[in-house]
Amino acid sequence: MRNDGRTGTDDPTTPRIGLRCDGGPQMGVGHVLRQLALAEEFIARGIEVTLLGTVQGSPLVDGLLGAHGLAMTPVGDDAAALVATVRDLGLDVVMLDGYQLPVALGTALRAAGIPVATMVDGRFGLDQDADLYIDQNFGAVRDPGIPVDRQVLAGIGYALLRDVVRSRRGARSRSGPLDTPGARGPYTAPATEGRPRVLCVFGGTDAYGAALTVVPLLLSTGAPVEVVAVAANEGIAAELRTSPTGPDQVLEVIGPVSDLPGLAATCDGVVSAAGTSIWEFFCLGVPTALVAVVPNQLVGYDQVLEADLVAPVGLLPDLREEPGASTGREVLHRFVTDAAWREGLGARGAALVDGDGRVRVADAMLALRP
């Protein structure tokens, strides 16, 4: 293992891949986590990986990267500087993952003869200049605005999932510990008969305070439930702990966890933001209720809703006033009380995600090498 924040060896014949992404309090860490999934695939193949960008205010993500021998190589939005860094590192292909990344980055890299892949979500990120476009959303198709000579990978078959998810596919247990030996985290199995255990999580930073709206809304259903709420910071945690609970309701507030899939797999359902975690929960077979927190999540939210794969809680701004709050409460009440419906959602989601999306994306990226 190298000690310079990269992986691999100094063998000049070994492919070298750069993954450009950022994370922080406002943008969240979803882009970094899905690139970590791709990094794991390349590392497993003995391919050198360099993460390019910055992560701010997330010790959890820093720890996850460190566990793989990775660290962010700081780069900004200057195209010439990025090209120089990529050349200095001898990278063969660069992935760009971030809607805020300037179009000039892809253009400059391609002009320098460096193949570029980019992640898109519907039309978000579509203006980036790339050789390969990946849209991992359910129901995604090739956008007509993409030049005909560029390659497109579209659909949930290209979802990028980390090892901690792939190793648990089909291992979820509602009545005992996880079935996969060695995969279980330090979590107990769900919950009292008739009182489902529901995980509430809204990203690594919860920049919009979704937990402060959705957790009380869930408790206000009055239905028996054990809620495990992940608070992105202590301020959110302190406020959540003041949420009133009804008869046969339990609220446990915890901080960010390094093995969220392990926790999710012990729960009867998850209430989540409609980000990249959707595909993780589908792969695990965990029934999922979704909240669209930010506009770029509407693409995935609408598509899985139309396919009857999730419980549609609503858009976060709508849940903060009527009639959206009442509508969301009704959906959450059914999610908690109708076990057959809930389990049907989980089964349909699990049937769609085989966990090998990152294998397909890695193959396509390696095929771009000159």
Domain boundary assignment for the chain: 16-161+355-366, 164-352
Residue 144: Cβ-neighbour burial (10 angstroms; 0-12, 13-18, 19+)? exposed
| pLDDT of the residue at 7 | 60
> Alpha-carbon Rg of the chain, whole angstroms?
21
The one-letter code for the residue type at 316 is L
The SS3 call for residue 262 is helix
CB 296: neighbour CB atoms within 10 A? 19
The one-letter code for the residue type at 129 is D
CA of 163: how far to CAs of 37, 154, 191, in Å?
A: 7, 22, 26
CA of 262: how far to CAs of 32, 99, 183, 257, 268, in Å?
A: 19, 29, 7, 9, 13
Same fold, 16-161+355-366 and 164-352: yes
Output the six-digit token pair for 150: 């560029």
The one-letter code for the residue type at 120 is V
Where helices occur in 103-202 by DSSP H, the ranges are: 103-111, 163-166
Q: How far apart are CA 183 and CA 155, in angstroms?
A: 28
| pLDDT of the residue at 193 | 60
Fold designation for 164-352: Rossmann fold (3.40.50)
Tell which CATH architecture fits domain 16-161+355-366. 3-Layer(aba) Sandwich (3.40)
Residue 322: Cβ-neighbour burial (10 angstroms; 0-12, 13-18, 19+)? exposed
CB-based contact 345:311 (threshold 8 Å): yes
CB-based contact 114:20 (threshold 8 Å): no
Q: Find, among 229, 256, 319, 214, the residue nearest to 28 by Cα.
A: 256
How would you classify the pairing of strands 116-119 and 225-230? unpaired
In the DSSP assignment, the letter for residue 297 is G
| pLDDT of the residue at 310 | 97
Output the six-digit token pair for 50: 């360099």
CA of 202: how far to CAs of 68, 173, 188, 316, in Å?
A: 24, 23, 21, 11
| pLDDT of the residue at 250 | 96
The residue assigned the tokens 């001898």 is: 90
In the DSSP assignment, the letter for residue 248 is T
The one-letter code for the residue type at 328 is G
∠ CA(325), CA(326), CA(327), 5° rounding?
Answer: 90
| pLDDT of the residue at 8 | 56
| pLDDT of the residue at 188 | 45
| pLDDT of the residue at 10 | 63
User: What are φ and ψ of residue 288, in 5° steps?
Assistant: -130, 135
CB-based contact 29:23 (threshold 8 Å): yes
Q: Compute the CA torsion angle 321, 323, 329, 334 (nearest 10 deg).
A: -160
Q: Find, among 110, 73, 91, 96, the residue nearest to 15 by Cα.
A: 91
Residue 305: Cβ-neighbour burial (10 angstroms; 0-12, 13-18, 19+)? middle
35's enclosing H/E stretch is: helix 30-44
| pLDDT of the residue at 183 | 32
Mean pLDDT by 10 residues, the chain (370 residues): 52 90 88 96 97 90 91 95 98 96 97 98 91 94 94 97 91 46 39 80 91 98 97 96 96 92 94 91 96 87 93 97 98 98 95 95 97
| pLDDT of the residue at 182 | 33
The SS3 call for residue 288 is strand
In the chain, the largest separation of any two C-alpha atoms, in whole Å, equals 65
CB-based contact 219:25 (threshold 8 Å): no
